[in-house]
Chain A
Amino acid sequence: MSAVTTPVRVSVPERSWRHDVRAVKVVLQRELIRFWQDRMRIVVALVQPVLFLFVLGSGLASLTRAGSGGFDLRTFMFPGVLAMSVMMPAMFSAGSIVFDREYGFLREMLVAPVSRTSLVVGKCLGGAIVATGQGLLVLALAPAVGISYSVGWVLSAIGLMLVLSFTLTALGVMAAGRIKSFQGFMALVNMIMMPMLFLSGALFPLSGLPTWLSALTHINPLTYAVDAVRRTVFNHVAISEASRSVLVPGMRWGGWQVPILVEVALVAVVGVIFLAVAAAEFRKTD
């Protein structure tokens, strides 16, 4: 077939941090290529947030108009739906590890002379970017629910989505490290996602919940992400003080109002812990 020529010999250098950075980048890049190729998935992932926002939101609006002081429920739900919109894509990104294992590609990665941690980091960063990209589509719906854009809140919201997506992807990767079948993985994701979503304040205000429920919302990382997004967005929404105190009370520990930056840091730290656990799992895998 080919003429026998002198082979171009390449020499693979010893492992270094530079090499690990290349590995992180290429794993991330693959995530982006796969996401872009699968445009159908992008459309499908948009269905659920739109359903929640315009169908559930509009439906419940008539019921709650009295309680919210005339405030549009959909405007209230928007930040929650924004946070929700990154959940599925983040989990899908993580879940591709299960597919990669089944179709053998994971093995190609695991035998490479590169640290497993860099593979996991690349995956989590890739998942974060892809999921945030998905979230941008929902962000585009803001005017439809009466929220006008400003550079400030849009950039903050994107930053928050990145952090949340990273943490969720890391959670998914941690799960994918243990669960070998895609069915098992999806079952677990559903089992985690729904309670996480319902206990986050994404869909209804957390003020005035019974104590046991309130306790659960406080240990849910998603709560802090949703709260941070909502407070950021609502700084730019005209709303009466009375409605604000009911709808956007902000998270409190005891009497202390948790600052937005602390909320973001908390979500990020939880994400790094998930990532560390995931990396440890993959280091053990033969």
Chain B
Amino acid sequence: MSTARTNGRSAVEVRGLVKRYGEIEAVRGIDLDVAPGETFGFLGPNGAGKSTTINMLCTLAHPTAGSATVAGYDVTRQRDDVRRNIGLVFQDPTLDTYLTAEQNLRFHAELYGVPRATLDARLRQVLDMVGLWERRAGRVQTFSGGMRRRLEIARGLLHSPRVLFLDEPTVGLDPQTRASIWGYIGELRKAEDITIFMTTHYMDEAEYCDRIAIMDNGKIIALDTPAALKASVGKDRVQIQTTDDAAAIAALRERFGLDAAVHEGAVTFAVAEGEQFVPRLFAELGVQIRSVSVARPSLDDVFMSYTGATIRDREGGQRPMMPWLAGRIR
């Protein structure tokens, strides 16, 4: 579950971290190590404890128990050193919308004490990276949500942090903008020698990470590469179009012991080694099949298999949610 490194040179090292707010235990003892240069994802529903963990790592909240170092500095005892070495993009916007893009960055540079000799070159570089150099004189008020987010990423990078924290960097953005933000983050990973620590509750975004920790109810319940996590689920998702869905579902239960349901107009079920299963299916189902598709498990399935619920179930509270496969097949 965890890949323990003990050389003390991790970009982020967390041991037994706990945060309690009164009665509520938001983070209940987590351990993790993030290697330098890694892109590490924190995945889980709202309220799982992701943001609380990030706040502790960014020195914005005091741990109730346990310890953490970021860029080699202790988050409680060496707060200023941690702050000098991290960049932050928060879940909620933190720009001064009355100032221009450049004024926002210059404000940041002064607060962080960026040496004036390198400032102009660096300013240009980070603005170029997010494609906002031409718009540097524009007031942030006139920027779209995606542009603001890009500007925040540029600002977070301005002082060359060793670790960049992105807390839900694409929340509230439309799919196209989300994709473009990820494009920029991809560029950034190529261009800069930096560790990225991000949280998300979009399953598809977690796939951009080198490793993922799945968090639920304040605990890390799984931690590995996206591929390994998917492999651990072991089941593929099969969808078939048939001439008689009800008969097909009944036949699947009787002959193969599989639970199936109709989603998106197709009989859908999960089975190990789906591709090998297809020939048997045609031979033994006894209902005419018009088409078949097999999908490798997604991180949704991973989350489901570890928690027994979908991310949306966790967030939904009292609202009745759709069955776990609905609307999530890509």
Q: Which residues of A contact B (CB under 8 A)?
A: 1-2, 4-5, 7-15, 18-19, 22-23, 25-26, 30, 33-34, 37-38, 100, 103-105, 107-114, 286
Question: Are A112 and B122 also in contact (CB < 8 A) when A7-B191, A104-B90, A104-B94 are?
Answer: no
Q: Determine the chain A residues whose CB is within 8 A of the CB of B96 once the complex forms.
A: 30, 100, 103, 105
Asked if residues A113 and B118 are in contact (CB atoms below 8 Å), the reply is no
Asked if residues A34 and B98 are in contact (CB atoms below 8 Å), the reply is yes
Asked if residues A113 and B184 are in contact (CB atoms below 8 Å), the reply is no
Asked if residues A8 and B92 are in contact (CB atoms below 8 Å), the reply is no
Asked if residues A103 and B97 are in contact (CB atoms below 8 Å), the reply is yes
Nearest CB of B to A95, in Å: 14
Nearest CB of B to A180, in Å: 15
Partner among A5, A100, A112 whose Cβ is within 8 Å of the Cβ of B83: A112
Q: Determine the chain A residues whose CB is within 8 A of the CB of B159 once the complex forms.
A: 10, 12
Nearest CB of A to B248, in Å: 49
Q: Which residue of A lies closest to B130 (CB)?
A: A1
Partner among B95, B103, B118, B191 whose Cβ is within 8 Å of the Cβ of A5: B191
Q: Determine the chain B residues whose CB is within 8 A of the CB of A286 once the complex forms.
A: 55, 60-62
For chain B, residues 69 to 95, give those with C-beta under 8 angstroms from any C-beta of chain A: 80-81, 83-85, 88, 90, 92-95
Question: Are A104 and B184 also in contact (CB < 8 A) when A7-B160, A111-B83 are?
Answer: no
Q: Say what secondary structure dominates the interface of chain A.
A: loop
Asked if residues A11 and B111 are in contact (CB atoms below 8 Å), the reply is no
Partner among B92, B98, B122, B191 whose Cβ is within 8 Å of the Cβ of A104: B92
Nearest CB of A to B277, in Å: 44
Is B285 in the interface zone, CB < 8 Å from A? Answer: no
Q: Which residue of B lies closest to A112 (CB)?
A: B111
Q: Determine the chain A residues whose CB is within 8 A of the CB of B108 once the complex forms.
A: 108, 112
- Cβ proximity bits B129-170 to A, threshold 8 Å, 1 near / 0 not: 111000000000000000000000000001110000000000
Question: Are A1 and B107 also in contact (CB < 8 A) when A104-B92, A112-B112 are?
Answer: no
Question: Are A11 and B90 also in contact (CB < 8 A) when A1-B187, A25-B110 are?
Answer: no
Partner among B59, B107, B115, B193 whose Cβ is within 8 Å of the Cβ of A26: B107
Interface size counted on chain B using CB atoms at 8 A: 50
Q: Determine the chain B residues whose CB is within 8 A of the CB of A113 once the complex forms.
A: 80-81, 83-84, 112-113
Question: Are A10 and B80 also in contact (CB < 8 A) when A22-B110, A34-B98 are?
Answer: no
Is B292 in the interface zone, CB < 8 Å from A? Answer: no
Can you list 5 pairs linking A and B with CB atoms under 8 Å apart?
Answer: A4-B187, A26-B110, A38-B98, A103-B93, A286-B60
A4 to B118, CA, bound (A): 18
A-B pairs with lowest CB-CB distance, top 3: A26-B110, A113-B83, A104-B94
- In the complex, given contacts A7-B160, A103-B93, what are 7 additional A-B residue pairs having Cβ atoms less than 8 angstroms apart? A1-B183, A5-B191, A12-B84, A26-B110, A34-B99, A105-B96, A109-B111
Asked if residues A111 and B128 are in contact (CB atoms below 8 Å), the reply is no
A18 to B93, CA, bound (A): 29
Nearest CB of B to A7, in Å: 5
Q: Determine the chain B residues whose CB is within 8 A of the CB of A110 once the complex forms.
A: 60
A5 to B184, CA, bound (A): 14
Asked if residues A1 and B131 are in contact (CB atoms below 8 Å), the reply is yes
A25 to B119, CA, bound (A): 17
A110 to B192, CA, bound (A): 26
A14 to B78, CA, bound (A): 12
Q: Determine the chain A residues whose CB is within 8 A of the CB of B131 once the complex forms.
A: 1-2
Asked if residues A2 and B118 are in contact (CB atoms below 8 Å), the reply is no
- Cβ proximity bits B13-41 to A, threshold 8 Å, 1 near / 0 not: 00000000000000000000000000000
Is B46 in the interface zone, CB < 8 Å from A? Answer: no
Question: Are A5 and B125 also in contact (CB < 8 A) when A111-B58, A111-B60 are?
Answer: yes
Asked if residues B160 and A10 are in contact (CB atoms below 8 Å), the reply is yes
A26 to B110, CA, bound (A): 6
Is B271 in the interface zone, CB < 8 Å from A? Answer: no
Q: Determine the chain A residues whose CB is within 8 A of the CB of B85 once the complex forms.
A: 12
Q: Determine the chain A residues whose CB is within 8 A of the CB of B190 once the complex forms.
A: 4
Q: Determine the chain A residues whose CB is within 8 A of the CB of B62 once the complex forms.
A: 286
Q: Determine the chain A residues whose CB is within 8 A of the CB of B322 once the complex forms.
A: none
Q: Which residue of A lies closest to B161 (CB)?
A: A12
Q: Determine the chain B residues whose CB is within 8 A of the CB of A22 once the complex forms.
A: 110-111, 113
Is B4 in the interface zone, CB < 8 Å from A? Answer: no
Q: Determine the chain B residues whose CB is within 8 A of the CB of A103 once the complex forms.
A: 93-94, 96-97
Asked if residues B122 and A10 are in contact (CB atoms below 8 Å), the reply is yes
Asked if residues B110 and A12 are in contact (CB atoms below 8 Å), the reply is no
Asked if residues A1 and B129 are in contact (CB atoms below 8 Å), the reply is yes
Q: Which residue of A lies closest to B60 (CB)?
A: A286
Q: Which residue of B lies closest to A119 (CB)?
A: B111
Q: Determine the chain A residues whose CB is within 8 A of the CB of B80 once the complex forms.
A: 14-15, 113
Is B114 in the interface zone, CB < 8 Å from A? Answer: yes
Q: Determine the chain A residues whose CB is within 8 A of the CB of B187 once the complex forms.
A: 1-2, 4
A286 to B94, CA, bound (A): 16
